[in-house]
Amino acid sequence: MMRQKMKRALYGMTILLLLFTLVPAVPSYAAGRAQDVGDSLVVVIDAGHGGENLGAKDYGPLEKDLTLTTAKAMYEELLKYDGVTVYMTRTDDSDLSLEQRAQFAADMGADFLFSIHYNASESHKRYGSEVLVSTQAPYNAYGYQFGSIALSNLTSMGLYNRGVKAKEGNQGDYYGLMRESSKRKVPSCIIEHCYLDMDSDKAYADSTEDLQAFGRMDAKSVAQYFGLKSTTLGVDYSGTSYAEVNASKVVPVTKSDGNGPDTLEISLWNNNPSTGDVTVAVHGFDANAAILYYEYSLDGGITYTPFYKWPNADALNNNNDNDFTISFQMPEGASAAFVVRAYNIFDEVTASNLLDLNTQVLATEYQQGKAVTPVVNTEQVVTETPTTDWSPSNATYENADDPSTWSEDEETTTPTTQPQTGKKTTNVWIPVLILAGISLIIVLLLVLVIRLVLLEHRR
Ligand SMILES: [Zn+2]
């Protein structure tokens, strides 16, 4: 009788162990909003910069004033929603440190700190909206879900989607606002509405009305994120759908692998010396991040065109694998050394192979009629075609070896290092050892069971 019970127990244990080993771990994806908030919702709005801290300053009005106008409009609009308490870090031209902004949010019991900014780049070539979030879980996933909503709204206004991004620094987050907020357990993000140093973007921030429209749009994004209702506005966002995230992990597309697009190849499709018409096929791929822009050079990379939109760019995903063609007319006296550069959402760049347009040797795939006809890129940010918009004489010089990665809102200049590479190799062995241990126990148990069964039979 005792033996029978022991046998049953052993069988049970063996089956349980087998189940634990064989059933794959199912990740806990959040179907709705990953962030859980209590009954009282508190939102803190931060107008970026202020006082001595001007922000972007060389493109008309100061950034610190633009952010305050937008933040105030966002505050007014959010008050129209039910069940939300709203605070502002500053309502005048005061200069607050990033620690003070984060501490204020923590003191108010903020469920989220939203920092309002306008952008500029050293190359003066970028355009579009982006949301910067924390590298720390779960704030990264919260930021990604909010950022997806905010960017969907900003792109509906006509702005280009530059994605939701996080950047690692030496002591946690590279961006000070997120570093200080995450330390204080306050979810936060920076909303970079548009580039003040790019005319096509600046048109969205040219008047007080424009800046207030951004604020109202941000309020709508917050209301959608928290599923708020407004009797005043007659809207109910309780049915918001969210991007799929695993809150315990960093959303992969928010982090750069430090490299530009993995592949960028160009080949000659048409070259007519009598008319000067040239068509070049482009193939680009980046497994880590969406490709956003491309530019090209007719002088071997000394001067480049403005940034064109990469066809079908989808900044919130990384499924870039595109073929398209660039058609243009060879300007008189161009050196005809053609090269393309492509930039992903992290502004990391890759240069293509160099094409000598004087040889007029077409791509073999094209000659044999084997190549698939690429999608012709019609959506470009500059209204003129590349031919009329750009020629070597009026193009701005840009060093081909030194593409800019500068951004006005980087809060620290210390370089990012990854000293954990050694650790990773040892980490790989831990699950292997655990699996080996479990397997050993199972084998021992099976041997024991078989022996017991055999003993039973011998009787
Ligand atoms: Zn700023």
Give the total residue count for the chain: 459
Contact present, 188 and 112 (Cβ < 8 Å): yes
Asked whether residue 69 is domain-assigned, the answer is: yes
Contact present, 280 and 326 (Cβ < 8 Å): yes
What is the distance in A from the centroid of ligand 1 to the CA of 172?
Answer: 20
What is the distance in A from the centroid of ligand 1 to the CA of 116?
Answer: 7
Q: Is the same domain home to 225 and 281?
A: no
The DSSP string of 290-318 is: -EEEEEEESBTTSB-PPPEEPTT--TTS-
Contact present, 197 and 124 (Cβ < 8 Å): yes
Q: Is the same domain home to 318 and 232?
A: no
What is the distance in A from the centroid of ligand 1 to the CA of 401?
Answer: 27
Q: Is the same domain home to 293 and 194?
A: no
Q: Is the same domain home to 46 and 162?
A: yes
What is the distance in A from the centroid of ligand 1 to the CA of 118?
Answer: 5
What is the distance in A from the centroid of ligand 1 to the CA of 223?
Answer: 23
Asked whether residue 297 is domain-assigned, the answer is: yes
- CATH code of the domain in which 355 resides: 2.60.40.10
- Could you give the CA distance from residue 201 to residue 343 in angstroms, rounded to a whole number? 18
Q: Which of 226, 254, 282 is the last residue of a domain?
A: 254
| C-alpha closest to that of 98 among 169, 167, 166, 175 | 175
SS3 content of the chain, % helix, strand, coil (to 5): 30, 25, 45
What is the distance in A from the centroid of ligand 1 to the CA of 171?
Answer: 21
- The count of domains in the chain is 2
Q: Is the same domain home to 206 and 182?
A: yes
For 384, the token pair is 């003129």
What is the distance in A from the centroid of ligand 1 to the CA of 309?
Answer: 24
CB count, 10 Å around CB of 121?
20
Q: Is the same domain home to 249 and 269?
A: no
Q: Is the same domain home to 146 and 274?
A: no
What is the distance in A from the centroid of ligand 1 to the CA of 95?
Answer: 13
pLDDT string in tens for the chain (459-residue length): 555 665 666 565 555 555 444 444 444 444 699 999 988 999 999 999 999 999 999 898 999 999 999 999 999 999 999 999 999 999 999 999 999 999 999 999 999 999 999 999 999 999 999 999 999 999 999 999 999 999 999 999 999 999 999 999 988 999 999 999 999 999 999 999 999 999 999 999 999 999 999 999 999 999 999 999 999 999 999 999 999 999 999 999 999 999 999 999 999 888 887 888 899 999 999 988 999 999 999 888 999 999 999 998 999 987 667 889 999 888 777 677 899 999 999 999 999 999 988 765 555 544 444 443 444 444 433 333 333 233 332 233 222 222 232 333 444 333 333 333 333 333 445 556 767 777 788 788 888 877 877 776 665
CB count, 10 Å around CB of 180?
24
SS3 of 450, please?
A: helix
What is the distance in A from the centroid of ligand 1 to the CA of 49?
Answer: 6
What is the distance in A from the centroid of ligand 1 to the CA of 128?
Answer: 14
Asked whether residue 31 is domain-assigned, the answer is: no
Q: Which of 254, 276, 310 is the last residue of a domain?
A: 254
Asked whether residue 448 is domain-assigned, the answer is: no
What pLDDT, on a 0 to 100 scale, did the predictor assign at position 41?
Answer: 97
What is the distance in A from the centroid of ligand 1 to the CA of 119?
Answer: 6
What pLDDT, on a 0 to 100 scale, did the predictor assign at position 270?
Answer: 87
What pLDDT, on a 0 to 100 scale, did the predictor assign at position 436?
Answer: 76
What pLDDT, on a 0 to 100 scale, did the predictor assign at position 106?
Answer: 98
Domain holding 295, by residue range, is: 263-389
Q: Is the same domain home to 236 and 358?
A: no
Asked whether residue 18 is domain-assigned, the answer is: no
Q: Which of 327, 355, 389 is the last residue of a domain?
A: 389
What is the distance in A from the centroid of ligand 1 to the CA of 408?
Answer: 6
Query: So what's the ipTM on this one?
Result: 0.99
The helix (run of H) or strand (run of E) holding residue 129 is strand 129-133
Q: Is the same domain home to 198 and 292?
A: no
Residue type, 196: L
What is the distance in A from the centroid of ligand 1 to the CA of 407?
Answer: 9
Q: Is the same domain home to 151 and 168?
A: yes
What pLDDT, on a 0 to 100 scale, did the predictor assign at position 449?
Answer: 77
- Could you give the CA distance from residue 247 to residue 226 in angstroms, rounded to a whole number? 16
- Could you give the CA distance from residue 29 to residue 42 in angstroms, rounded to a whole number? 25
SS3 of 76, please?
A: helix
End-to-end CA distance of the chain: 14
What is the distance in A from the centroid of ligand 1 to the CA of 62?
Answer: 10
Asked whether residue 247 is domain-assigned, the answer is: yes
Asked whether residue 399 is domain-assigned, the answer is: no
What is the distance in A from the centroid of ligand 1 to the CA of 414?
Answer: 19
- Could you give the CA distance from residue 383 to residue 400 in angstroms, rounded to a whole number? 25
CB count, 10 Å around CB of 194?
28
- Could you give the CA distance from residue 231 to residue 160 in angstroms, rounded to a whole number? 32
Torsion of CA 304, 308, 313, 319, to 10 degrees: -20
Q: Is the same domain home to 358 and 211?
A: no
- Give the max Cα distance, the chain: 102
- CATH code of the domain in which 171 resides: 3.40.630.40
What pLDDT, on a 0 to 100 scale, did the predictor assign at position 448?
Answer: 81
What pLDDT, on a 0 to 100 scale, did the predictor assign at position 332?
Answer: 75
What is the distance in A from the centroid of ligand 1 to the CA of 362?
Answer: 47
What is the distance in A from the centroid of ligand 1 to the CA of 150?
Answer: 17
What pLDDT, on a 0 to 100 scale, did the predictor assign at position 103?
Answer: 98
- Could you give the CA distance from residue 71 to residue 86 in angstroms, rounded to a whole number? 11
Asked whether residue 338 is domain-assigned, the answer is: yes
The helix (run of H) or strand (run of E) holding residue 438 is helix 421-458
Q: Is the same domain home to 134 and 63?
A: yes
